[in-house]
Chains A and B, each alone.
Chain A
Amino acid sequence: MSMALNTSSGPAFPRHVKITGEGKRLVDEGRGRLVLIAMVFAAAFSVLAVRLIYLTLFPAGGEPSIARSVIKSGAGVASTARAAIRDRNGVLLAVSLPTASLFAKPYMVGDAEGLADRILRILPRLDRERLVRKLSSGRRFVWIRRSLTPEQHQALNALGEPALDFKIEERRIYPQGRLAAHLVGYTDVDGRGIAGIEAQFNDVLARPGDAGRDIVLSLDARIQHALRDELSRAMAIFRAKGAAGVVLDVRSGEFLALVSLPDFDPNRAGDFSADARFNRATLGVFELGSVFKAFTAAMALDYGVVGVNGGYDATRPLKISRFSIRDEHGKGRWLSVPEIVIYSSNIGAAKMALDVGGDRQRQFLDRFGLTKKLKVELPEIGRPLLPRRWGMTETATIAFGHGISVSPAQLAAAFARVVNGGFDLKPTLLRRKADTDARGERLISARTADLMRRILRKVVTNGTAGFADAPGYRVGGKTGTADKAGRGGYNREAIISTFAGAFPMDDPRYVVLAMLDEPRGIPETNNLAQAGWTAAPVVGRVITRIAPLLGVAPKPADDPRVFRALKLKVKTKEKKLETF
């Protein structure tokens, strides 16, 4: 760069320098550039300053969440324990608790026998010989007992023995024990759910987060207990192999109780047989017998193949190919449609179904969810067994519930669709909002649904299920006694007795189902094990116990409103209209 300096005065250091010409232009340009740079920097810093002031004085609202996320990642309040499972009223069904496990450092033990005796005073169920052997092994680490109770922990700690120590572990506890064992399920040693709700919602339960992420079931512990209590009582009386029961809200679709017997203690599920852990209510599929006549009648009435005053001749057994369908204690006369259901006539039901036809029967059962797996939040769901060929014989036998196997829970859901006014229903095991009406599209006409309600009430007042009545609660339903299919045909000694009931029948709210697997008659039942003698009384007793809990008020039988809602004229004689 060239510069022209013009010194005006002063010998060595001139006080003022004047630049002119080309030099002045260059200096001015340099100054201009400096100013420009200074302005750019000033502008940038002002932006920062303004932003800083803005952030400090006007919080954007996102800060609390940022702060919380920092807390969570550090020493926060978020619980890492597996979330709890509760019933609809908040009763704990499954919870993870820190428990202390006792271990010893045998190399530090001096007097093994003395120490063993002191431990045995607190844990008397340990084997003394094995304990002494463990303590005198000289190893560095040996487990004595996993999962101590708080009292045992404290007592052992108070021994002050340096060779003993504790390890704190999370353990899954089921405070209600067997109450809802099949439904809640259980976890493996590492705390992963491997059955029931524990398995179905494993990811949700295992995700760390706030305390409010517990899973709330639709189940009511009190109702579950009443059902389990009555079923186990009946199981003992009739020496049955197993039992299953369901209570279902026909409007909200919530399962209030789901019982399978024999059951197990999920706190030590490994100690029980596979049979005890098998969920008969949802995984087991059974031929449930005459309960299906309710669907057959609804189907025939809804398709209009027969009127409520129409009927069929049931005097003679019905022969289809090589099979012969007969009635157990037939009336031996013409029966109207309500009578076929009330007296449970196989012949009448088969004839009705044949009039409807196999294809339409299949479609109808499909709509009621009896041909596909039940959709509910459990991994243990049984697939219904359908005939490979749906011919005349199958149509006739399915009419009274043979040749088709479904799970009790599935049957209860289908039954709910008949009595809830004829609407589809999505059943659930999770609590829904109070007074939810989860009824979907209409499946049968309002008239058919109304007739079925009245007919099912008559089954209890006049038919096979007299013992299901709970005075005041207007119970209705259908019995089903099915011979169990065994090797080479049906076994007449081994039966499945089922009663699917609903109450109050003038405005049905709940379905109660009881099933007994191979009940045997007792002298008090004239040695009969039919559903009317074994399963029906269970439902009656359960309803007497749970109706007050569910807020269903008892009403006397002569209440005019009840009477009007349940009135049904049943034809007993065929009216000949045709003249030949």
Chain B
Amino acid sequence: MKFHKISILFLLLLLGASYGLYKLSYEVEALERKLVSLNRELMDSQRSIRVLEAEWSYLNRPENLQELAYRYLPLEPMLPSQIVADLGEVPALLRMARDDFPLPRARPDGIRPGLPGPRMTVAEMRKTAEQPVRRVRPINARLYQWLEERP
């Protein structure tokens, strides 16, 4: 019976198609739920980022940083004579530097956090420069040791 065969075929096709459709629509629904929750998370994160960024901006107010730097760092505002754009300019810059210019800090190991390091003037530095140079100790001796021990 030709007619019956075609009917069964179409019936099966119908069943298959509706199953597929339902499955698809459930999948879409699940994805939409996921999208909504992801969007909500995204908005929460964006809001948190905004709050954190505002806090970051607040804590990094130049006024605040200046105050903290003044209190805790043995640094002073940069002077033109301390900026070298071209090594050839060094002699001229030294001429520009007056003898009483304070230098920000004496030597790297003279720094302790929270305390201004000993100050040195240009005149003092010139005197030190004439003395024989001490051998510089590596910053992290153990790191260097490890590098040397490696086979």
* Any A CB within 8 A of the CB of B136: no
Decide if A77 touches B89 in the complex (CB within 8 Å). no
The A-contacting residues of B in range 23-79, CB under 8 angstroms, are: 35-36, 39-40, 42-43, 46-47, 50-51, 53-58, 60-63, 66, 77-79
**Chain B positions within 8 Å of A470 at CB level:** 80
Residues of B within 8 A of A (CB): 35-36, 39-40, 42-43, 46-47, 50-51, 53-58, 60-63, 66, 77-81, 83, 85-86, 89, 92-93, 95-96
**Chain B positions within 8 Å of A557 at CB level:** 96
A229 to B85, CA, bound (A): 27
Q: How far is the CB of A83 from chain B (nearest CB, A)?
A: 11
* Any B CB within 8 A of the CB of A379: no
A547 to B81, CA, bound (A): 13
18 extra interface residue pairs, beta carbon distance < 8 Å, beyond A92-B54, A92-B57: A74-B36, A75-B36, A75-B40, A77-B39, A77-B43, A84-B50, A97-B50, A98-B51, A175-B61, A176-B61, A177-B63, A179-B62, A222-B62, A226-B62, A471-B81, A472-B83, A553-B85, A554-B85
Sample (13) of A-B pairs whose CB atoms are under 8 Å apart: A75-B36, A77-B42, A79-B43, A92-B56, A98-B51, A175-B61, A176-B57, A225-B63, A229-B63, A472-B96, A545-B77, A548-B83, A556-B89
A535 to B119, CA, bound (A): 31
The B-contacting residues of A in range 430-472, CB under 8 angstroms, are: 470-472
A176 to B78, CA, bound (A): 24
Decide if B63 touches A97 in the complex (CB within 8 Å). no
A84 to B81, CA, bound (A): 40
The 9 closest A-B pairs by CB, nearest first: A472-B80, A225-B62, A554-B80, A175-B57, A556-B92, A553-B85, A92-B57, A175-B58, A75-B36
Decide if A558 touches B92 in the complex (CB within 8 Å). yes
Decide if B62 touches A221 in the complex (CB within 8 Å). yes
**Chain A positions within 8 Å of B40 at CB level:** 75
Decide if B96 touches A471 in the complex (CB within 8 Å). yes
Partner of B81, one of A77, A93, A554: A554
Partner of A556, one of B42, B46, B95: B95
**Chain A positions within 8 Å of B42 at CB level:** 77
Q: How far is the CB of B111 from chain A (nearest CB, A)?
A: 22
Q: Type the 1/0 row for A555-572, where 1 means its CB is closer than 8 Å to any CB of B.
A: 111110000000000000
Q: Give the interface size class of chain A.
A: 35 or more
Query: SS class of chain B's interface: helix, strand, loop or mixed?
Result: helix
**Chain B positions within 8 Å of A548 at CB level:** 78, 83
**Chain A positions within 8 Å of B60 at CB level:** 91
* Any B CB within 8 A of the CB of A320: no
**Chain A positions within 8 Å of B58 at CB level:** 175-176
* Any B CB within 8 A of the CB of A150: yes
Decide if B96 touches A229 in the complex (CB within 8 Å). no
Q: How far is the CB of A502 from chain B (nearest CB, A)?
A: 17
A205 to B86, CA, bound (A): 45
* Any B CB within 8 A of the CB of A528: no
Decide if A91 touches B93 in the complex (CB within 8 Å). no
Q: How far is the CB of A511 from chain B (nearest CB, A)?
A: 19
Decide if A471 touches B80 in the complex (CB within 8 Å). yes
**Chain A positions within 8 Å of B78 at CB level:** 548
**Chain A positions within 8 Å of B39 at CB level:** 71, 75-77
* Any B CB within 8 A of the CB of A236: no
A567 to B63, CA, bound (A): 40
Partner of B51, one of A71, A150, A176, A179: A150
**Chain A positions within 8 Å of B77 at CB level:** 544-545
Given the contacts A95-B50, A98-B47, A555-B89, A177 and B83 also touching, CB distance less than 8 Å: no
Residue from B53, B57, B79 whose CB has the most chain A CB atoms within 10 Å: B57
* Any B CB within 8 A of the CB of A173: yes
Given the contacts A175-B57, A176-B61, A229-B63, A554 and B83 also touching, CB distance less than 8 Å: yes
**Chain A positions within 8 Å of B35 at CB level:** 71
The B-contacting residues of A in range 73-92, CB under 8 angstroms, are: 74-77, 79, 81, 84, 91-92
Given the contacts A176-B61, A473-B80, A548-B78, A556 and B93 also touching, CB distance less than 8 Å: yes
Q: How far is the CB of B35 from chain A (nearest CB, A)?
A: 7
* Any B CB within 8 A of the CB of A44: no
Decide if B53 touches A92 in the complex (CB within 8 Å). yes
Q: How far is the CB of A434 from chain B (nearest CB, A)?
A: 20
* Any B CB within 8 A of the CB of A27: no
A559 to B62, CA, bound (A): 34
Given the contacts A175-B57, A179-B61, A79 and B80 also touching, CB distance less than 8 Å: no
* Any B CB within 8 A of the CB of A305: no
Q: How far is the CB of A215 from chain B (nearest CB, A)?
A: 15
Decide if A173 touches B47 in the complex (CB within 8 Å). no
* Any B CB within 8 A of the CB of A49: no
**Chain B positions within 8 Å of A84 at CB level:** 50
**Chain A positions within 8 Å of B57 at CB level:** 91-93, 95, 175-176
Residue from A96, A177, A547, A556 whose CB has the most chain B CB atoms within 10 Å: A556
* Any B CB within 8 A of the CB of A42: no
Kindly report which residue of chain B lies nearest to residue A551, judged by CB atoms. Answer: B85
* Any B CB within 8 A of the CB of A211: yes
Decide if B92 touches A175 in the complex (CB within 8 Å). no
**Chain A positions within 8 Å of B93 at CB level:** 554, 556
A547 to B82, CA, bound (A): 13
